[in-house]
C-alpha cells in the first residue's frame, strides 16, 4: 500500500529543483501529494526557517500526508525539531534514508543485501556516536528525542561494519578471480556506467539483443540472460552481465547500479564491491541522457568523472543516449558545450537502435589491443580441438590446411595467445614422441 508524501528542499540561493527527489520518492513507493521549497541560509535548529516549518505543518494537515521527505543533509536534531511541529503520526526522513529504503527494496542478492546493511550501519554510526556523546555530557537518556542511550550500541555497530566488510572482501576476491578467468578465456570486460534512468539497461538490450548466456555455463555461473528496462530509478541495484555482439571481439557487458547526485562518500564506499565491475573493466561506457538540459548533463558528467577517474584506469567512452528525443541542432549545441567533459562522444538511441553499429565499432576500437600470432600446428588427433578453441577465444584471419599441418593466423588477448602457444607446443611434443 503506497503512502502519501510531501517532498521539501532548502537551497542557499536560487530555486530548488524537486524533480529527482520526487522520482526517488515514487521509486520507493510513495505518492507525492505536496511540495515545499525555501531559498535561504540553513537554520541550525530546523534546516528551514521556523516559519517555513509552520507552513510545512499546515501542508501536511491539508494533504493528509504520512511522510515528509527532506531533500537535504539533515542532522538528527533538525529532524527531531521538524517532526515536533508536525502531527505525531507523521514521519520525517531525509534524502539518504529514502535512498537506503530504495536500496533495501531492490537488494535481491547476498552481496547487495550486505552492501545495503553496511550503508545503513554507516549512516547510523554518527547518530549513535551523537547519542553517546550527549548522554555522557548531559546524563539525560533520550535527550533531544534521540532515544534512550545504549552504551554498547556504538561498539556493536562498529563490530557489525567490520564483519560485513570482511564478507564483502571475500566476495570481491572471488569476483576478481572470475574476471581474470574470463580474460584468460578471451573475453573483454565492458561496463555500462552513468546516472540512474540514463537508459543503460535499454542500451544493453540493443548491444546484446540476439544473444543470451547459458546459465549452466561452468565459467559464467552468475550471468543473467535478461536485463530489466523500466522508466524508474534503481531498476538495477546489482549487476547484470550478458555477452554482447560487437564484431570480432568476445565481449561481456555489465550493467551496474546507476549513480545519483549528492551521494556522500560513505554511501559510495558501501557499494564499492558493485562498482568494482566498473573500476576493473577493460572499457567503460559512460551513458548520459541527452534529452536533459545542458546544465543537468554537465553536473552529472562532473559527478561521474569524480567517481570514475579516481579509481578507474580503463578508457572511458561517453555515450549520449536518447537522441531520439533531441533534434539535431540542440544535440550539436550540447556536444559543443560539453566537449571538455565529453570529447568525441557516441550518440545513440537505446530505444530505436539508432547509431548502435557506430557504438559497437567504437567499443572494438577502444578495447586493449589484441596480439597477432601465427602458429604452424602438426596434424594430430587433438589439432582440430585446438583450432576450434582458437576460434572461440580469438579472431582467426587465416586458416590453411596442408598434408600434415594446419597454419593459423589470428588475433587474441595476450593471455590467450600465450595459452595457444602452450597448447601448440604440447601437440608438437606428442607428435615427436
* Residue 229 counted as an annotated binding residue: no
Query: CA separation (Å) from 391 to 21, 29, 324, 366, 378?
Result: 50, 49, 38, 22, 17
* Residue 15 counted as an annotated binding residue: no
β-pair partners for 37: 9
* Residue 53 counted as an annotated binding residue: no
pTM of the model: 0.71
* Residue 196 counted as an annotated binding residue: yes
Q: Per residue in 340-366, pLDDT tens?
A: 999 999 999 999 999 999 999 999 999
Give the residue among 253, 281, 276 at the shortest CA–CA distance from 359. 253
* Residue 165 counted as an annotated binding residue: no
* Residue 278 counted as an annotated binding residue: no
Model pLDDT, residue 228: 45
* Residue 158 counted as an annotated binding residue: no
- Evaluate whether 249 touches 362 at the Cβ level (below 8 Å): no
* Residue 351 counted as an annotated binding residue: yes
Model pLDDT, residue 176: 85
* Residue 350 counted as an annotated binding residue: yes
* Residue 241 counted as an annotated binding residue: no
* Residue 257 counted as an annotated binding residue: yes
* Residue 255 counted as an annotated binding residue: yes
* Residue 322 counted as an annotated binding residue: yes
Model pLDDT, residue 237: 54
Model pLDDT, residue 135: 57
* Residue 288 counted as an annotated binding residue: no
Model pLDDT, residue 151: 62
Which strands, in side-by-side order, build the sheet including 316-321? 240-245, 250-255, 187-194, 283-289, 316-321, 346-347
Which residues in the chain come in under a pLDDT of 70? 1, 130-151, 209-238, 257, 261-262, 264-266, 270, 273-274, 310-312, 431-433
Model pLDDT, residue 202: 87
* Residue 197 counted as an annotated binding residue: yes
* Residue 419 counted as an annotated binding residue: no
Amino acid at each position: 500500500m503506497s503512502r502519501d508524501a510531501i517532498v521539501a528542499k532548502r537551497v542557499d540561493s536560487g530555486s530548488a529543483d524537486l524533480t529527482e527527489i520526487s522520482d526517488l520518492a515514487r521509486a520507493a513507493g510513495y505518492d507525492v501529494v505536496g511540495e515545499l521549497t525555501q531559498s535561504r541560509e540553513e537554520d541550525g535548529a530546523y534546516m528551514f526557517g521556523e516559519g517555513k516549518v509552520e507552513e510545512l505543518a499546515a501542508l501536511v494537515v491539508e494533504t493528509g500526508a504520512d511522510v515528509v521527505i527532506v531533500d537535504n543533509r539533515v542532522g538528527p536534531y533538525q529532524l527531531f525539531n521538524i517532526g515536533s511541529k508536525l502531527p505525531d503520526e507523521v514521519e520525517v526522513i531525509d534524502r539518504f534514508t529514502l535512498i537506503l529504503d530504495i536500496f533495501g527494496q531492490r537488494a535481491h542478492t547476498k552481496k547487495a543485501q550486505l552492501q545495503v546493511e553496511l550503508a545503513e550501519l554507516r549512516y547510523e554510526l554518527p547518530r549513535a556516536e551523537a547519542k553517546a556523546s550527549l548522554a555522557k555530557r548531559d546524563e539525560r537518556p533520550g535527550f533531544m528525542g534521540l532515544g534512550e542511550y545504549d552504551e554498547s550500541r556504538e561498539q556493536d555497530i562498529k563490530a557489525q561494519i567490520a564483519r560485513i566488510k570482511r564478507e564483502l572482501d571475500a566476495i570481491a576476491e572471488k569476483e576478481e578471480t572470475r574476471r581474470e578467468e574470463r580474460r584468460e578465456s578471451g573475453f573483454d570486460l565492458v561496463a555500462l556506467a552513468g546516472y540512474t534512468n540514463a537508459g543503460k539497461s535499454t542500451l544493453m538490450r540493443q548491444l546484446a539483443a540476439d544473444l543470451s548466456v547459458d546459465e549452466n555455463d561452468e565459467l559464467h555461473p552468475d550471468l543473467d540472460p535478461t536485463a530489466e528496462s523500466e522508466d524508474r530509478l534503481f531498476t538495477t541495484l546489482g549487476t547484470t552481465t550478458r555477452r554482447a555482439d560487437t564484431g570480432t571481439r568476445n565481449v561481456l557487458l555489465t550493467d551496474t547500479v546507476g549513480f545519483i547526485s549528492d551521494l556522500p562518500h560513505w554511501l559510495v564506499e558501501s557499494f564499492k564491491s558493485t562498482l568494482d565491475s566498473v573500476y576493473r573493466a577493460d572499457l567503460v561506457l559512460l551513458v548520459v541522457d541527452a534529452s536533459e538540459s545542458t546544465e543537468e548533463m554537465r553536473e552529472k558528467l562532473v559527478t561521474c568523472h569524480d567517481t570514475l577517474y579516481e579509481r578507474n584506469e580503463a578508457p572511458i567512452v561517453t555515450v549520449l543516449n536518447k537522441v531520439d528525443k533531441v533534434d539535431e541542432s540542440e544535440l550539436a549545441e550540447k556536444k559543443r558545450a560539453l566537449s571538455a567533459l565529453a570529447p568525441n562522444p557516441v550518440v545513440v538511441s537505446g530505444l530505436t537502435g539508432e547509431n548502435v553499429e557506430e557504438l559497437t565499432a567504437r567499443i572494438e576500437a577502444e578495447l586493449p589491443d589484441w596480439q597477432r600470432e601465427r602458429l604452424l600446428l602438426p596434424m594430430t588427433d587433438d589439432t582440430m580441438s585446438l583450432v576450434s578453441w582458437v576460434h572461440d577465444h580469438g579472431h582467426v584471419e587465416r586458416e590453411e590446411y596442408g598434408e600434415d599441418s594446419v597454419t593459423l593466423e589470428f588475433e587474441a588477448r595476450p593471455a590467450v595467445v600465450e595459452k595457444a602457444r602452450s597448447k601448440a607446443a604440447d601437440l608438437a611434443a606428442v607428435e615427436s614422441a
